Amino acid sequence: MRAVVTGGAGFLGSHLCEYLLAKGWDVLALDNFVTGAEANLGHLRTNPHFEFLQQDITKPFDVKGQVDAVMHFASPASPPDYLKFPIETMLVGSIGTWHALELAKARKARYLLSSTSECYGDPEVSPQPESYWGHVNPIGPRGVYDEAKRYAEAMTMAYYRYYGLETRIVRIFNTYGPRMRLNDGRALPNFFYQALTGQPLTIYGSGKQTRSFCYVGDLIEGIYRLLESSEHEPTNIGNPQEITILEFAERIRKLIGTAAPLEFKPLPEDDPKQRCPDISKARRILHWEPKVNLEEGLQITLDYFRGQMPRS
């Protein structure tokens, strides 16, 4: 079996490539490095079952050889990244998604879209089940990401209905672990970097907003089970352990053993007030649930980040 992974040099894409190789797949990763890094794949480059092609997937491209699965992970994902690359984000979610779907259709391959909890926007229902249609501001700054992913879901469902393509849609909730960029601007790398360098931890708004953080190893296992299932409707994968951002910062301070203060900054526009996955569906159809708790996951991530810190 051979998979094409778009966004393969990113945080999640690189873990997915590694996981597929370990399961005996051949893997071709595509990436243009807009937010990813060659170093994320460095350890795979000598593996004879792994290939890499530097490619912007919003431009037409061809893939040689057998393709059994197309796993579409290309897209900036951190809010500061998609605010910096708004047009690229919309194009990879629209044209990039279309190209990935066309590749899967041409090769009669299975197709999996990495969608997001951002499809629920600033949700008025919590936890969020897949049946919730969401509360998204299409013209706010986050709209470029949210609407691109909602479009990508609609396009994927159209290929399922119109062409009978075998499609899967995973709605990923906040995920963390090794290979996140220390400077990607998300809460977790920011807090780690700040705590490790003794700078104030920046809390946006009151810090009472919630998120639910899933360890990357758990997420990839859930995604693989979804790929292997026959479920074509969106499926949430995430960790339902909900925590306020203030409490999250506190956990990281404790773990690192720093007395670095907190610094309150304005809440970004349309920042969701709560986010927690309802994973009953994943439990029922995939027999999946997260195994790594926050303490363990944060420790593994800290060990990784320590190795990434610039030497003084």
Buried b (16+ CB within 10 A) or exposed e, 72-103: bbbbbbbbebbbebbebbbbbbbebbbbbbbb
DSSP secondary structure code for residue 112 in this structure = E
121 binds ligand UDP (CB under 6 A): no
Note if 145 is an active site residue: yes
Beta-sheet strands, E only, within 9-68: 26-31, 50-54
26: CB partners within 8 A, 6+ apart: 1, 2, 3, 49, 50, 51
Q: How many residues bind ligand UDP (CB under 6 A)?
A: 13
126 binds ligand UDP (CB under 6 A): no
Beta bridge partners of 115: 171
Residue 57: name its binding partner from ligand UDP, ligand NAD, none (Cβ under 5 to 8 Å by kind).
ligand NAD
CB of 312 to ligand NAD, least distance (A): 26
Residue 187: name its binding partner from ligand NAD, ligand UDP, none (Cβ under 5 to 8 Å by kind).
ligand UDP
Q: Is the peptide bond before 127 cis (omega within 30 degrees of 0)?
A: yes
Beta bridge partners of 70: 4, 111
Residue 227: name its binding partner from ligand NAD, ligand UDP, none (Cβ under 5 to 8 Å by kind).
none
CB of 268 to ligand UDP, least distance (A): 5
What is the H or E stretch that residue 288 is in? none
Q: Compose the 5-44 pattern: x for residues touching ligand NAD by CB under 6 A, - for all others.
A: -xx-xxxxx----------------xxxxxxx--------
Give the range of 61-69, 123-131, 203-211, 302-310 binding ligand UDP by CB under 6 A.
203-211
Out of 145, 159, 160, 224, the active site residue is: 145
Q: What value does the CA radius of gyration of the chain take, rounded to a whole number of Å? A: 19
**CB-based contact 119:146 (threshold 8 Å):** yes
Which three-class secondary structure state does DSSP give residue 294? helix
121 binds ligand NAD (CB under 6 A): no
79 binds ligand UDP (CB under 6 A): yes
CB of 4 to ligand NAD, least distance (A): 11
Strand 50-54, strand 26-31: pairing: parallel
Give the range of 157-165, 169-177, 226-234, 292-300 binding ligand NAD by CB under 6 A.
169-177
172 binds ligand UDP (CB under 6 A): no
115 binds ligand UDP (CB under 6 A): no
In the bound state with ligand NAD, the residue whose beta carbon lies nearer, of 12 and 245, is: 12
Maximal CA-CA distance, the chain: 58
**What is the Cα–Cα distance from 154 to 123, expressed in whole angstroms?**
19
CB of 167 to ligand NAD, least distance (A): 15
Q: Give the pair of three-digit tokens for residue 152.
A: 């990508």
190 binds ligand UDP (CB under 6 A): yes
Question: Residue 216 — φ and ψ, nearest 5°?
Answer: -55, -35
Which positions are annotated as active-site residues? Answer: 145
Residues that bind ligand NAD (CB under 6 A): 6-7, 9-13, 30-36, 56-58, 73-77, 81, 92, 96, 114, 116, 172, 174-175
